[in-house]
A and B are shown apart, each in its own frame.
Chain A
Amino acid sequence: MVAFRSTDTSGRTTGLLFRCVLYSLLALALIIVDKRYDHLGKIRRLLSVAAYPVEVAVASPFQGWHWFRDSVTTRDVLRADKAKLEAELRVAQFRLQRYEALEAETQRLRALRDNTASVTDRFLIGDIMNVDLDAFRERVLVDKGASDGIYVGQAVLDSGGVFGQVARVGQLTSEVILVSDAAHAIPVQINRNGLRTIAVGTGETNRLKLPYLPTSADVIAGDLLVTSGLGGGFPAGYPVGTIAEVKRDPAQSLADVDVKPAAALDRSKELLFVWLKPQAAELLPPPKPAAVPKK
């Protein structure tokens, strides 16, 4: 027999209907206001500060475990790691020399063509907090927020490529929507031939789709997709993914194209928040998300 402790048999069931209706109307009003007018951004930011301690408390055992594992490793493992990192650093520095030269050349050529160049300047690295936001949506929580200058619609990258966009900003944390979320779309360009289209998320972590290509479009498996920079949301030239499969049905007018994302969407721990270069940002329209999450 499941026993209840309290002997309180009266307990405020009077006026229950009234209070229920009151709270329900309040909740409904919140839903409508939040959905239609998005006035609740500030309130949500404040509430998220209150939720922050809980999120930190939940994430801390995992962080503590990682810290412990990092602190207690053998010297040999550390030496091997160090050698590997130095080798990677040398390769990256070599590539970077070439990149800087190319970047300068591109700037000159673009200036000749009288185009605006949007090249990123400022980066901020954030950590993904080990908090499950919602099992059915592709979103993550990152430990940088409005106090670090993060804004809604900001582009987020990881070491492999484009990771997503900032969907909501709290004071100390922000919520990033992944490129694989079904409600996310990003303007892309095929690197080989410059064909511009839009990549849409599917809800699966390892698959994006290009739903707006006709069957006659010049796209083959293995093509690299980069951001096209249209709309001013994402900087141009960052890898989004590679074409995995192209299915052309003669009876359909649109091709069925699958894309494998370049970013490690399910494995990344650190993310890069990027800002567009100030002078380029002035010339572009004010930053609004290039990929508006479909509401």
Chain B
Amino acid sequence: MALSAVGALALAVVPLSEVLDAFRPDFLVLVVFYWCIESPRAGGLSLAFFSGLALDVIHGVVLGQHALALTLMGAWATHLRLRIRVFSVLSQCLTVFVLLTGYQFVLFWVDGATGNPVTTFGRWLAPFIGALLWPVLTGVMGKIHER
């Protein structure tokens, strides 16, 4: 679990060209959601909170911004976990999309509240990419977990 979180964190900051960077999904967020749904014992809110804090430090933003967003969305995901587990692929992707959009929204709100308005709309692309990536991610994580 820790390994997947660190791996996702590394993927979050790997430098990409300007064009590709717009399409970068929130890897760490997806991994946290996966663990909240899969087994809150291993992950859950503490993972969400500290991953958020790690994202804050590594992105150099206000401490607590990503932590708040991830905690709220992670709690929601954990609350819905029993239902999500039995959804079809499409429904899961849609649910993850809603969760990711909520996450971006909290970030956006904190940005505005702290006087740091981000004027581009690029961040709203990440939920789409993330939702599309969800089945791949769960497949990969499932395979690793199996071993």
Binding site for B on A (CB under 8 A): 1-6, 8-9, 11-13, 16-17, 19-20, 23-24, 26-31, 33-35, 40, 43-44, 47-48, 50-51, 54-55, 57-58, 62, 130-136, 139, 141, 167-168, 175, 203, 295
| Interface pairs A-B: 9 shortest CB-CB | A30-B64, A27-B68, A20-B75, A31-B64, A27-B67, A34-B63, A6-B39, A27-B64, A23-B71
Q: B52, B58, B122: which has the most chain A beta carbons within 10 Å? A: B58
A228 to B58, CA, bound (A): 34
Q: A20-B71, A23-B71 in contact; A44/B63 too (CB < 8 A)?
A: yes
A135 to B68, CA, bound (A): 20
Q: A12-B41, A16-B79, A131-B15 in contact; A4/B68 too (CB < 8 A)?
A: no
Contact assessment for B135 and A136 in the assembled complex, using a CB-CB cutoff below 8 Å: no
Contact assessment for A58 and B110 in the assembled complex, using a CB-CB cutoff below 8 Å: no
Task: Give the chain B neighbours of A12 by CB distance below 8 A.
Answer: 40-41, 44, 78
A34 to B99, CA, bound (A): 26
A203 to B118, CA, bound (A): 10
Task: Give the chain A neighbours of B48 by CB distance below 8 A.
Answer: 23
Q: A13-B40, A24-B68 in contact; A133/B135 too (CB < 8 A)?
A: no
Q: Choose from A20, A40, A55 the contact partner of B63 (Cβ within 8 Å).
A: A40
Q: A57-B10, A168-B60 in contact; A31/B75 too (CB < 8 A)?
A: no
Q: A20-B45, A23-B45, A168-B60 in contact; A4/B138 too (CB < 8 A)?
A: yes
Q: A12-B44, A24-B72, A57-B10 in contact; A130/B15 too (CB < 8 A)?
A: yes
Contact assessment for A132 and B68 in the assembled complex, using a CB-CB cutoff below 8 Å: no
Task: Give the chain A neighbours of B53 by CB distance below 8 A.
Answer: 30, 47
User: Which residue of the partner chain B has the closest CB to A203?
Assistant: B119
A50 to B57, CA, bound (A): 9
Q: How far is the CB of A42 from chain B (nearest CB, A)?
A: 12
Binding site for A on B (CB under 8 A): 6, 9-10, 13-16, 21-22, 24, 37-41, 44-46, 48-49, 52-54, 57-65, 67-68, 71-72, 75, 78-79, 81-82, 85, 88-89, 92, 110, 114-115, 118-120, 122-123, 134-135, 138-139, 142, 145-146
Q: How far is the CB of A34 from chain B (nearest CB, A)?
A: 4
* A-B CB contact pairs (8 Å), 26 listed: A1-B88, A4-B37, A6-B38, A12-B40, A12-B44, A12-B78, A13-B40, A19-B75, A24-B68, A26-B64, A27-B64, A27-B67, A28-B68, A30-B64, A31-B110, A33-B63, A43-B63, A44-B57, A58-B10, A58-B13, A58-B14, A132-B16, A133-B13, A133-B59, A141-B60, A168-B60
A11 to B80, CA, bound (A): 12
User: Which residue of the partner chain B has the closest CB to A17?
Assistant: B75
A94 to B60, CA, bound (A): 42
Q: A5-B38, A27-B71 in contact; A132/B114 too (CB < 8 A)?
A: no
